[in-house]
Structure 1
Amino acid sequence: MKLPIYCPSCEEKLQVAKLTCSTCGTEVSGNYKLPVLMLLDLDDQEFMMEFLLSSGSIKEMAGKMGKSYPTVRNRLDDLILKIKELQNGK
């Protein structure tokens, strides 16, 4: 299940307000921004995870995905652009 990142009412970005320890019940409250990578959709998060587990090898990623090197390279370039836009608040 993906963590909701936008308000269902006004569609603004949500922020984390409380963290809870499932072992002892300790709660930490505040107003925290979500990390940029959590703002990506699930498909992009999974791509990033596979990319890291492939030690950043586009050739290995292409083999795992059954896609051509240029296709994976383009996907990575699109993802880099998306991350830069999220960092800049767009």
Structure 2
Amino acid sequence: MMALNKIYYSPLGKFMDEGDANIREKLGSMKDTSVEVKQLEEQGVAIMRAARVKISVALSKMKKETQVEVEVEVKLAKGRKKVEAELQEALGKLKE
């Protein structure tokens, strides 16, 4: 029985212990990796959220600036029309 234990069961037990240790190591590594992936995912979400806020603020600012420019152009166009109408009226009076 002692010989069988030395020849067969000891190497088999050693092989099984090494396999078990290897599996435990891989499971631990997977848990570490999943935690790291979760952290990276959270960082990515935070970065995207911040980028969306920045884009929203920039678009809002550009919209306001564009609206002001359009209003100025409209006022200038109305002023030009008024001046041209007054000019035409004055020219009409001069011709009389």
**Shorter-normalised TM range:** under 0.3
Q: Which has the higher contact order (CA 8 A, sep 6+)?
A: 1
What TM-score, normalized to structure 1? 0.25
**TM-score, with length taken from structure 2:** 0.23
